[in-house]
Structure 1
Amino acid sequence: MTPISEAEFDSLLRTFERDSLHLETRDAYGTAIELPYMAKWAAGEPDDLAWLGDWCSTLRKHVKAGKSVRRARIVSEPLSEYQRWSHSIAGPMVEAGEDIRWVPRRLVSSVPIPGNDFYLFDNRLAVFLIYTGGGLNAAMLSSTNPADLELCRSAFEAVWHLSIPHCDYQPV
């Protein structure tokens, strides 16, 4: 596996050719970008979600070009505070074309899943997201190893088969 920089990862998010698959397996994250907005939400303060504008614009471009962007979130129920917040802000991304789905963790007990969250770009490049115990991103590792690609593809599709579309998922 090869470490990649945030700039390289950002480029991959914007330049894949056909599809981007993203599997999230953690109940909480602590990304530097998200933490201030989550804190506002927790305090009951309004958020116009303008900070999501760039990503939503990118999503609309992908959809217009015929590309697919899918995200599956494996979540424990009842949802963690992070996942409740995440559910509350997903609407603009779904409206922009990202197919976000939710999977209660109890449904994936027998699904082989990689040890880390990942993106799979065009079934040719996997990027594993390595997090600290507190949910901060510690590293990103890329792989073109056929075994890694197959594990990611099969795990994602198995989870996707069990998933609930964002518009139908009722947080517990």
Structure 2
Amino acid sequence: MHLETRDLYEPEDLDWNEWKAGNHFDPAVRWKTFHDLVRETTTRGVEVRRTRIVSEPVSEYIRFEYDVTEPHNLAAGEQVRWLPRRQTAGLLVPPNDFWVFDEQTVLWNFCDGNGTWMGEERSDDPDLAKLCVAAFDAAWDRAIPHKEYQPS
């Protein structure tokens, strides 16, 4: 499970800047390592799910993520949903992005105010993992599958 909550990541990212310049690359080639990992994982019967909480109208960066989701995430076997921020009232989600693995391990991702990745922190606290799974599942249930979501 991966919950993303920011409207901008890595402003200096080469792929993002290449996309902004109109060079629409093939994510399956560019991010082959990720594709292979997700494909191997889903082939074993493990679900890989991602929810992106986004502001609307969406930022240019979110348009980039949307544009590369089908040939990148979905092509690899990941399930992706989008949750407009205005539909999150009543949800309690952590303020940082996170991954949860096997409903036991949480990997926090930290960014600065501009979206630059600042590092990660792993937690094997089972109570924390349960809280993150509950937060993710609540967001997932409200979110819109990628093929049905149209960014505004």
- Shorter chain as denominator, the TM-score bin is over 0.9
- Which of 8, 11, 18 aligns to 1:40? It is 18
Contact 1:116 1:128 in 2 (8 A): yes
Structure 1 pair 154–86 and aligned structure 2 pair: CA distance change class (3 A): same
CA distance in 1, matches of 2:127, 2:40: 31
| Counterpart in the other structure of 1:62 | 41
Counterpart in 2 of 1:141?
121
Change in CA separation of 1:58 and 1:126 when aligned onto 2, cut-off 3 Å = same
Query: Secondary structure of the equivalent of 2:75?
Result: helix
**Counterpart contact for 1:84–1:171, Cα < 8 Å:** yes
Query: Where does 1:7-86 land on structure 2 (aligned, <5 Å)?
Result: 21-30=1-10, 35-49=13-27, 50-86=29-65
Report the identity percentage. 38
Q: 1:145: how far off?
A: 2.1
Which of 136, 145, 149 does residue 156 from structure 1 map onto?
136
Deviation of 1:48 after TM superposition, in Å, equals 2.5
- Two-structure CA RMSD over aligned residues (Å): 1.3
Q: Does 1:105 align with 2:105?
A: no
Q: C-alpha distance in 2, partners of 1:80/1:131?
A: 17
TM-score, reference length from structure 2: 0.93
Could you tell me how far 1:90 is from its partner in structure 2? Answer: 0.7
**For 1:42-88, what per-residue CA distance to the aligned partner results, in whole angstroms no more than 9, with x for missing partners?**
12223132212221121111111111100000000011111000000
- TM-score relative to the length of structure 1: 0.82
CA 1:148–1:136 in structure 2 vs 1: closer, same or farther (change >3 Å)? same
Report the Cα distance in structure 1 between the residues aligned to 2:49 and 2:26, rounded to whole angstroms: 24
SS in 2 for 1:58: helix
Q: Please say if 1:90 is aligned against 2:69.
A: yes
